[in-house]
Amino acid sequence: MKILVTGGLGFIGSHTVVELQNKGFEVVIVDNLSNASEKVIDGIIAITGKKPLFENFDLRDKPKVEDFFSRHNDIEGVIHFAASKAVGESVEKPLLYYENNLGVLTYILQELSKKGSANFIFSSSCTVYGQADKMPITEDAPVKSAESPYGNTKQVGEEIIQDTCKVTPHISAIALRYFNPFGAHPSVEIGELPSGVPQNLVPFITQTGIGLREQLSVFGDDYPTADGTCIRDYIHVVDLAKAHVAALQRLVNDENEENYEVFNLGTGTGSSVLEVIKSFERVSGKKLNYKIVRRRAGDVIEAYADTTKANAVLGWRAESTLDEAMKSAWDWEQKIRS
């Protein structure tokens, strides 16, 4: 079965390609390399022994999207990762984010609507919940007004898919709401390669640990949490990738009762910023240089998932501990800096 993975050379995309190929799926990657490297293919081959088909073009080019689907009319599923993802940049360049994240989505759905049947998995985010009223966060928690254009593209993206599924019953779709993925494949052949200054906590920690960054800033220690720092749900990227395969198999096997479903993907456990730092210090044996600074605008106090639905319906659960995932991230950082 042939599966299109957009953004398949990115962090989560590449790990998902590995899991798909390990399960026997034929994978086609489309990536414009704006935030990835073609060298990632070598890592995928090293792990799986198989080379995925790769096409380098920008999915904002609608004629090229149409041409791609005409040439690959045997594609039976799409896992859609390709999107811009920096919250701060989205505030500065909202139109770029709406074009990139929503325009491309509509182009792909238009092509899938022409097919006899199609399976679609959307890379969504826990940002749709904002500061949830209750912890842990279930899929029934209200979707709140987005804090950024990036967050809004995830909310609107879900609405576009849901509206499409209502009038196109042959499209079956699942939106996966990620919490905080990090880590690297245990082979250390692929991992996270942020361009410029990392936007996420763990890459900044490992870059500080390796000496690439002078110091890590912890934004606030006066939140109403046990140690005063913000709490998030940190999930190993390999666990996250495996969830995509479980979701795809649900669609392929026609096990879904409705043609649009939503699942949270996390560990179900919240970890504070200071707990994540301590995890790094445990697995690395290094003391991290960090300082407490003022709160950052837009940060929610805590967010961690209720994964009951994904565990029961998809038959999936996160398996790696925080320390195991952190060790993989540190091993990867050491490899790419050596």
Residues 6+ apart with CB under 8 A from 204: 197, 198, 213, 216
Residue 94 near residue 151 (C-beta atoms within 8 A): no
Q: Tokens 């073009």 belong to which residue?
A: 57
Residues in CB range of 47: below 8 A, 6 or more apart: 18, 185, 187, 189, 190
Beta-bridge partner residues of 262 = 175
DSSP string, 211-228: TSSS-EEEE-S-SSSSSS
User: Do strands 271-272 and 231-232 pair parallel, antiparallel, or not at all (unpaired)?
Assistant: antiparallel
Mapping DSSP to helix (H, G, I), strand (E, B) and coil, where does residue 303 land? strand
DSSP per position, 9-34: TSHHHHHHHHHHHHTT-EEEEE---S
129 noted as active-site residue: no
Residue 63 CA to chain centroid, in angstroms? 27
The Cα–Cα gap between 23 and 19 comes to: 6
Other Cβ atoms closer than 10 A to 76: 18
Q: How many CB atoms lie within 10 A of CB 294?
A: 9
- Helix/strand/coil for 335: helix
109-148 CB burial, b ≥16 within 10 A, e <16:
bebbeeeeebbbbbbbbbbbbbebeebbbebebebbebbb
Catalytic position from the list 97, 129, 150, 304: 150
- From residue 311, alpha-carbon distances to 29, 161, 243, 304 in Å are 28, 23, 10, 15
Q: Mind telling me the catalytic residues? A: 150
